Amino acid sequence: MIAWIKTHQRSALVCALTLLLPLLMYLNLLFGAYGLRAEYARDMERLPQRIARLQGLQEVEGQLRDSPGVVQQTTARLAYPSSAERASIAASMQSDVRQLMADAGLTVSNSQVLPVREEESFDYIGVKLTVAGDIDALDRTLAAMADFTPLIIVEGLDVWPTRQRSTRGAAAKVEKQEATVSLRLLSLRSLR
C-alpha cells in the first residue's frame, strides 16, 4: 500500500481528501450536537429561576391587577381632579387656608395665588400667605393642614419672632411667643 501511495501520489491525495471530507463533516456534526447539548443544559439550569419568577408573579397577580385602581384612588384623595379649573382650585385653596388660619387664631395679613407650574403629571397650584400669631396657633394650623384633603403641601416656611418688651423684676410673666410667618403652600391638580 505504501508503494502504491509513492507511485500514485495524486490519486492517493484525491482518495485521502475524499475520505477526509466525510470525516470532517461527521466531526462538525458531532461537535455541533455537543454544543447544542451544552446550550440546552445551560437553559435547563436557568429554568428553575424562571419558574420561580413566574410563580412569584402568579402569587401577586391580583395585587398587580388592583394596583392601577389603588393609584387612582390615592391620586383622587391627594390631588384635585383634572376636570377642576386651575383658577377655581387656587381661589378655593386660598379661602380654605385663610379660614383654617383664622379659626386657629392667626391673623392673615397677605395672601396671593402664585403662578401655576406644570410638571409631568400634575399642575402645582401655589398660594403664598403671610400670617401673624402665636406659635401654638401656627402648630394647630399646620396639624390641621396635614389632615386637609386634597393634600396641601408646605413648600416653604419662614418664621420671624415678634419682638416683645421685657419686663424687669423677678415677677416677669412669660408670654406666648408671637411670630410672623410666611408660608408657600401648594396643591396638586392631576393632568390625567
Terminal CA-to-CA distance of the chain, rounded, Å?
90
Model confidence at 177, in pLDDT bands (50, 70, 90)? confident
Q: How much is the pLDDT for 106?
A: 93
pLDDT per residue as tens digits for the range 65-84: 888 888 888 887 889 888 98
Q: How much is the pLDDT for 172?
A: 52
What does the block give as the cell for 75?
A: 391620586
B/e letters for 152-165, b = 16+ CB within 10 Å, e = fewer, are beeeeeeeeeeeee
Q: How much is the pLDDT for 100?
A: 92
Q: How much is the pLDDT for 1?
A: 77
Residue 170 pLDDT more than 50?
A: no
Instruction: Decide yes or no: CATH 3.30.70.60 for domain 80-190.
Output: yes
Distance CA 189, CA 59 (A): 35
Q: Where are the domains positioned within the chain?
A: 2-59, 80-190
133 burial (CB, 10 Å; 0-12 / 13-18 / 19+) is: buried
Span 90-95, average pLDDT:
92
Full-model pTM: 0.60
Percent of the residues in the chain that have a pLDDT greater than 90, as a whole number: 53
Tell me the average pLDDT of the chain. Answer: 88
Residue 154 pLDDT more than 90?
A: yes
186 burial (CB, 10 Å; 0-12 / 13-18 / 19+) is: buried
Residue 173 pLDDT more than 50?
A: yes
Distance CA 131, CA 178 (A): 11
Q: How much is the pLDDT for 52?
A: 92
Span 12-36, average pLDDT:
90
Residue 137 pLDDT more than 80?
A: yes
